[in-house]
Structure 1
Amino acid sequence: MDKVRIGIIGLGNMGTGHAKYLVNNEVKGAELTAICEFRPDRLEWAKENFGGDIKLFDDLDAFLTSGLIDGVLIATPHYDHPSIAIKAFAAGLHVLCEKPAGVYTKQVREMNEAAKASGKVFSMMYNQRTNPLYKKLKDLVSSGELGEIRRTNWIITNWYRSQSYYDSGGWRATWAGEGGGVLINQDPHQLDLWQWTIDMMPKRVRAFCYFGKHRNIEVEDDVTAFVEYENGATGLFVTTTGEAPGTNRFELSGDRGKIVIEDGKLTFWRLRVSEREFNETYKGGFGQPEVWKCEIPVEGKETSHSGITQNFVDAILHGTPLVAPGEEGIKGLMLSNAMLLSTWTDNWVDLPIDEDLFYEHLQARIKESKSSKEANSYQTLDVSGTSKS
């Protein structure tokens, strides 16, 4: 094989963006050969803009078994990601899935098992892993420059959304339509980077989610979560869609200093000797380790979505290691599920979470969701298996 034939499932905003860079030959070794979409208007748009070289489908099974594709890029609403991926693996296809991996970890675990059994390449569209800032941070942590992690803080509140945004679709910000709010829709990249950059998941979570605090919606729009790690470190994650202006600040404290990523810069306050060594040897009472403020050079550019797709194609053609292995999608989702479950049970939640308990709570909220009926016309699969949104 010298070229990977890719089929896109879902031609909404994200699917359309993926289609454009593929058609423009921005991914070496890839060719967009087919699109599967339920909505006639989007299929007509594809026909008008991409011509007859790309085969269009409104039936998922026919698409998957067409023989026209080697791999799929799933860009449907996230409730559908696992079920479609499982079908694609069963059809012998490689899978690149948009984030989040799904809505609840129980279904994502089934997707991961199907991927493993298939032996096919499976990747997540965690395009922020191509951001040089976070790549450099991961390098500094893994190389030991920061020492043992003591604390992680991420304030990510620059997700401002007005009421008119939520009113633009009856399925938006509902349990039946989207399965959550700011955690599932705006924060998947940060939740992934939070654990990926330090290669460490919390052992337990205590969170306080506020539902419809700033807007007339039924899901969470304001969250503060406290986590504990196995090594004794602690962490804080704060997010909302109701603040303006917002903040995006990721701060890590370690035995050898502090690193902050904010405003597109990475700054390292590096201790000349570790805090542990200073504390053991210093006898002067008041005092602290000598610290150097270092503006760390960050090289390279963020390749974003096309970069992840290129990596996916290279993995198929050349065995290149994946930047965002698909099975890692469950980690960020585990964090958001844990935050919700902690709030719903008003208690600490140990990781890995009780997946059946989370599913039970989620289903209860879906049943009471004000958009249950409307959501079915937007978010669920029709008989052909293609998403309607």
Structure 2
Amino acid sequence: MGKLRIGIIGLGNMGSGHARYLVNGEVSGAILTAISDPRPERLQWAKEELRSDVAQFEDHRELLRSGLVDGVIICTPHYDHPSQAIEALQAGLHVLIEKPAGVYTKQVREMNEVAAASGKVFGIMYNQRANPLYQKLKDLISSGELGEIRRTNWLITNWYRSQSYYDSGGWRATWAGEGGGVLINQDPHQLDLWQWTTGMMPKRVRAFCSFGKHRNIEVENDVTAYVEYENGATGLFVTSTFETPGTNRFELSGERGKIVIEDGKMTFWRTRVSETEFNRSFTGGFGQPECWKCEIPIHGHSDEHKGITQNWTNAILNGTPLLAPGEEGIHGLTLSNAMLLSTWIDDWVELPINEELFYEKLQERIRASKSDKQADNYQALDVKGTH
């Protein structure tokens, strides 16, 4: 293969952004050869803004059958990601999907099974994995610098969204239109990073979600979730869309101290000896291990979406390991599904979750939804920005 021929399905905000850097030649080894979108105004935008030799299709299935692409980037509404990924994989194409992987794990699991059997390169646009800040955190944890993790806390409340934002589309913040609120729309990256950097998924979740708190919407916009891990560690995930000013602080406590990520910086309060060793040998009264405050240097910059596309291209052309394998999209989605299900049944949820029960509860809410349904749903992919 010379250059990877890429098609983009969906030209909302995200799809248009991918198209721009591809036509500008900013991804080595890749070329944009086709786009699809059912909206005439988006095809007109493509005609005006992209190269004249980029083929246009109203129906994504025509793009898949065209023979003009080797792989596709799927940038359509949440519910469509798994079904369209399956269609593309079965057409013999490599696939890169926008986040989230889907709305419910049952559909994502089916997508993963098809991907595993396809022999194609399947990735997900978890662009925050390209951020050297979180790569450094993952390295520190996996190398044992923090020791065994004992607590994880992520407070992310700086997703402020006004009522006018929600009113800008009938699909917004509805069960039928988006399939959820802050957990599925704003937080997929944090839910992914929470488990990716630590290498840990909880064994059970107890969550309290508020729906339409201080806003006239159907879905969750305030979440407090408590989790427990197999090693005895605990965690807390708190998020909302109505607090201003908000906070974004990720704190992890381990045997060797504490790491905090906030304001784009990482600080490591590192104990000279592990707490386990100190506790075993210390014979005084109120002593604590000697502790050093270290500002961890972060080198490099994040290429964000372009970096993930470059990595996916390299994986196809050169066999480079994927930074964000598509199959891993189910992990963060499992966490958000578990939080919603825990609230709906008012009880603990064990992982793996009861996928059939979650699907049943979700369908109840979709049937009662006031969304403009799927006709409007296609626009949920961000012509004005969903995140």
- Normalising by structure 2, we get a TM-score of 0.97
Alpha-carbon distance in structure 2 between the residues aligned to 1:96 and 1:214: 36
Shift of 1:12: 0.2
Alpha-carbon distance in structure 2 between the residues aligned to 1:153 and 1:89: 37
- Relative distance call for 1:388 and 1:62 in structure 2 (3 A) is farther
Alpha-carbon distance in structure 2 between the residues aligned to 1:305 and 1:247: 24
Cross-structure match for 2:377: 379
* Contact persistence 2:12–2:382 (CA under 8 A): no
Q: Does 1:21 find its partner at 2:21?
A: yes
Q: Does 1:226 find its partner at 2:226?
A: yes
Aligned ranges 1:27-38 → 2 under 5 Å: 27-38=27-38
Cross-structure match for 2:301: 301
SS in 2 for 1:197: helix
Q: Look up the equivalent residue of 2:144 and give its one-letter code.
A: G
Alpha-carbon distance in structure 1 between the residues aligned to 2:75 and 2:81: 8
Shift of 1:370: 1.3
Shift of 1:214: 1.9
Shift of 1:133: 0.7
SS in 2 for 1:260: strand
Alpha-carbon distance in structure 1 between the residues aligned to 2:169 and 2:61: 28
Cross-structure match for 1:169: 169
After TM superposition, the runs of 4+ consecutive aligned structure 1 residues lying more than 4 A away are: none
Alpha-carbon distance in structure 2 between the residues aligned to 1:198 and 1:156: 17
Cross-structure match for 2:42: 42
Alpha-carbon distance in structure 2 between the residues aligned to 1:331 and 1:220: 20
Shift of 1:376: 2.2
* Contact persistence 1:79–1:379 (CA under 8 A): no
SS in 1 for 2:198: coil
Aligned ranges 1:201-216 → 2 under 5 Å: 201-216=201-216
Shift of 1:388: 11
Aligned ranges 1:181-330 → 2 under 5 Å: 181-330=181-330
* Contact persistence 1:228–1:235 (CA under 8 A): yes
* Contact persistence 2:9–2:76 (CA under 8 A): yes
Cross-structure match for 1:98: 98
Q: Give aligned pairs, total.
A: 382
Shift of 1:345: 0.3
Q: Deviations over 1:337-379 (max 9, x none)?
A: 00000000000000110000000000000000112xx122112
- Once structures 1 and 2 are overlaid, which stretch shifts more, 50-59 or 309-318? 50-59
User: RMSD of the TM alignment (CA)?
Assistant: 1.2
SS in 2 for 1:31: strand
Unaligned segments of structure 1, at least 5 residues: 382-386
Shift of 1:380: 6.0
Q: Look up the equivalent residue of 1:113 and give its one-letter code.
A: E
Q: Look up the equivalent residue of 1:311 and give its one-letter code.
A: N
Cross-structure match for 1:339: 339
SS in 2 for 1:5: strand
Aligned ranges 1:43-192 → 2 under 5 Å: 43-192=43-192
Alpha-carbon distance in structure 2 between the residues aligned to 1:353 and 1:56: 41
SS in 1 for 2:238: strand
Alpha-carbon distance in structure 1 between the residues aligned to 2:144 and 2:341: 34
Q: Look up the equivalent residue of 1:22 and give its one-letter code.
A: L
Aligned ranges 1:344-383 → 2 under 5 Å: 344-371=344-371, 374-379=372-377
Alpha-carbon distance in structure 1 between the residues aligned to 2:300 and 2:48: 36
Q: Deviations over 1:138-182 (max 9, x none)?
A: 000000000000000000000000000000001100000000000
* Contact persistence 1:378–1:388 (CA under 8 A): no
Alpha-carbon distance in structure 1 between the residues aligned to 2:60 and 2:74: 11
Alpha-carbon distance in structure 2 between the residues aligned to 1:192 and 1:388: 21
Alpha-carbon distance in structure 2 between the residues aligned to 1:49 and 1:261: 39
